[in-house]
Structure 1
């Protein structure tokens, strides 16, 4: 299987997703959007992973490559690719599908629980999760209005729309399960100005002080990807 990913900053790579792909013998390619690298042809990949980043989806004047990226994501959905967007990536997917991305009532930075919906709990892709998994958050915006036809997968008190699925094969996550310690360290180093302690903003010590959460999140991501691949290979999505 051929997996392509779009990366927006040097310090936010796919983390444990890369480890899973390598372990399972999949082909990995990437476009470093911040370097203005060319996007691939649709025929050259099967799955698309859209990573996070500190920019906002509407900042095309500052990051002009966002315009081309949105077109590319839309084309990938039209071509029935498997898509997964993480944080900014999920917001970009929601936007091109006709949803709305705005400031969330609360900035979320840290380890917080989300609640799975009944749709998620009944899906083989999420049935192994606890009812309120602890996940890593770092966002100010969110997909406040889901695209028409999208189904909500997770919610929380701080952010109503934490995850969604569209057409059984397109996934948007507001949170991160893929982050390794190195990625979190990179976020702290490059985005420390955002860490202003608040109800849903934790300290640097809290962000880096939970290796058990990182390990568990990475295990959940691996299980999700393994089940997604199985359904994909069986032609069920």
Structure 2
């Protein structure tokens, strides 16, 4: 099995999932857009992960590769490639598939609870998660209108679209399930990131958030592993079903 991971910036990578893939014997290729990498043929892969970044979906003037990325995502999802998008990656999925992304009334920042709705509680991607897990939130935009046929699986008071599905193989997570204490350490060491956190939370709030990432590391790692195993199972079953109907990957 091989996954493709799209990184929008060097500072926001695959996080804890890199180790999960290593442990599971899953090969990983990276497209690093900040380095000018090109998009490969999506049919070479069993799953596509699209990570976060400080830019927004509409920032095409500063990030001219966004248009190509949206086209690539649309192509991959339409071909049936399993997709998991994190934060910006969730917003990219919505934009690529006909939804709409925009600014929220207030940024959502912190280790905060989301609530799985009845559809989410029964969904294969979320099987094994608590109904109200705490997740790492750091975003000022969200999905305002879902793509046609998409289904909301989880929400929060500030953001009604926290997890959603497009069909049965493409998923957006508005939060950062990949974050570990080491990732948080790196982010707060970046002046722009630290200042952005302090604009939202203040210095004391930023420090409390940082500590909470350590305090809840075991729980968030457990939830990330549940998501990982469930996505791998979906990718495996998707590969089998595609072969059964005679489509070559």
**TM-score (normalised: structure 2):** 0.89
Aligned partner (choices 189, 206, 212) of residue 204 of structure 1: 206
Mapped pair 1:192 → 2:190: no
In 1, the alpha carbon distance for the partners of 2:111 and 2:167 equals: 29
* CA positional deviation for 1:56: 0.4
Mapped pair 1:105 → 2:68: no
1:69-123 per-residue CA deviation (whole Å, 9 max, x = no partner) reads 1111111111110100000000000001111100012201211111111101112
Classify the secondary structure of the residue corresponding to 1:10.
Answer: coil
55-64 or 42-51, larger mean C-alpha shift = 42-51
1:22-62 per-residue CA deviation (whole Å, 9 max, x = no partner) reads 10001110010111111111232111100000000100100
Residue 41 to residue 127, structure 1, CA distance change in 2 (3 Å): closer
Mapped pair 1:219 → 2:237: no
Mapped pair 1:176 → 2:196: no
* CA positional deviation for 1:11: 1.3
Identify, as 1 or 2, the structure richer in helix. 2
Question: Once superposed, what is the RMSD of the aligned Cα atoms?
Answer: 2.0
In 1, the alpha carbon distance for the partners of 2:233 and 2:6 equals: 23
Q: Which runs of 5+ in 1 are unaligned?
A: none
- The answer for the alignment partner of 2:236 in structure 1 is 233
In 2, the alpha carbon distance for the partners of 1:18 and 1:27 equals: 10
**TM-score (normalised: structure 1):** 0.93
Classify the secondary structure of the residue corresponding to 1:218.
Answer: helix
Matched-pair contact (CA < 8 Å) for 1:105–1:159: no
Matched-pair contact (CA < 8 Å) for 2:43–2:81: no
1:169-227 per-residue CA deviation (whole Å, 9 max, x = no partner) reads 10101101111122222322331222246589982212220224232122112122212
Matched-pair contact (CA < 8 Å) for 1:114–1:154: yes
Q: Which runs of 5+ in 2 are unaligned?
A: 243-249
Mapped pair 1:115 → 2:115: yes
Residue 197 to residue 131, structure 1, CA distance change in 2 (3 Å): farther
- The answer for the alignment partner of 1:159 in structure 2 is 159
In 2, the alpha carbon distance for the partners of 1:102 and 1:53 equals: 15
In 2, the alpha carbon distance for the partners of 1:64 and 1:202 equals: 37
In 1, the alpha carbon distance for the partners of 2:131 and 2:199 equals: 27
- The answer for the alignment partner of 1:5 in structure 2 is 5
